Amino acid sequence: MATFRERALARHQAEQKRLQEQGADSEAASASTTGPISPKVQTAGPAAMLKAAIEQLPVKATMPIAVTTLHVRPGYERHPDEFAGPEWEAFVASIETSKGNLQPIDVREVRGGPTLYQVIAGERRFRALLQLGHKTALCAVREVDDAMADFIHDTENAKRADKSPYSLALQLVKMMESGRYGSQKELAERLGRNAGDVSRLLRLIDDAPKGTWERIKDPVAVAHRDVTLLLKVYEKPEFVEYISKLDPRAPSPIAAVLKRAKEVLKRPKAEKTLVQKIREVERGDAFHLVLPKELPASMRTKILEYARKLADEAVKD
């Protein structure tokens, strides 16, 4: 059975074939991915599929490019906190040891202005070179359309060091806002992602109480398991009020926010009413009527008198 991403590549191939049959003009064709996606690509494993998909894109040149002319599309960037920690430092050290990026960063030229290049695969290598102070980056300049650029960007992150749910959610929101996708379902299909996962991540941003993420200092610490928790609590008035009282000038750690979310979802046991506390207890060969202490003495007396009256009537019958 084909995977989500295999089906996404197959759909892209069908779209390219349709455009070719319609006789797309040469300018539009030059801005799109050329050539069909081979059966080998469609049947490859996920990691090999990304490599094969990128390799078949037309390469205009492989050359050093000034890092000052490279950029990641707004909204597609990883959160700055993802470029920190032991794993990241080890990655930077590997780039430093090799005196640069041995594997080219895949980019495409931005048209209609000064010479700039958009990173479509390799943001971590790009950020590492910036951190190390390198002036240039080895890049493969490719011809690729927006839809395939979205697919490659998303797949590369998923198969290498996946983005945090927060950064991925921002990316998906940006993709929906681009107008390239008519629905969340289409976006999921084109990226080869589960439609339910895409919906949940979009809601992580879209359904959040106003100002939520401006009041959290470490949003990348949100784990996938936390997304479900937050979606459950977003509409709770108590949580909305809690978020509104957080100071955006001194953002709170996500751990504190998640703790509060769990507290809000914990439903306290309903207090039993006085009527519910009245019960019958069997002891030996008799049944005892248990009355709560909260009942006034006069009320307990009336209950006992009524019980005796009923018992007396039962004996007479």
Residue 69 belongs to what domain range? 56-153
Q: Is residue 124 part of a domain?
A: yes
Cα Rg, the chain, nearest whole Å: 31
* Beta carbons of 216 and 248 less than 8 angstroms apart: no
At 261, list the tokens. Answer: 């979310």
With 70 as the cut, is the pLDDT of residue 93 above it? yes
Domain count of the chain? 2
CB under 8 Å to 126, separation ≥6 — which residues? 67, 70, 72, 105, 119, 137
Residues 165 and 260 occupy one common structural domain? yes
Lowest mean pLDDT among 84-93, 163-172, 203-212, 274-283: 274-283
Residues 142 and 184 occupy one common structural domain? no
pLDDT digit string, tens, across residues 226-259: 999 999 999 999 999 999 999 999 999 999 999 9
Give me the chain's average pLDDT, please. 81
Q: Which of 137, 153, 169 is the last residue of a domain?
A: 153
Residues 168 and 107 occupy one common structural domain? no
Residues 135 and 214 occupy one common structural domain? no
The pTM is what? 0.61
Q: Which of 114, 129, 153 is the last residue of a domain?
A: 153
pLDDT digit string, tens, across residues 285-296: 888 888 888 888
User: For the residues 118-125, what does the mean pLDDT come to?
Assistant: 90
Q: Domain holding 76: CATH number?
A: 3.90.1530.10
Q: Is residue 18 part of a domain?
A: no
Q: Domain holding 232: CATH number?
A: 1.10.10
Q: Which of 250, 265, 280 is the last residue of a domain?
A: 265
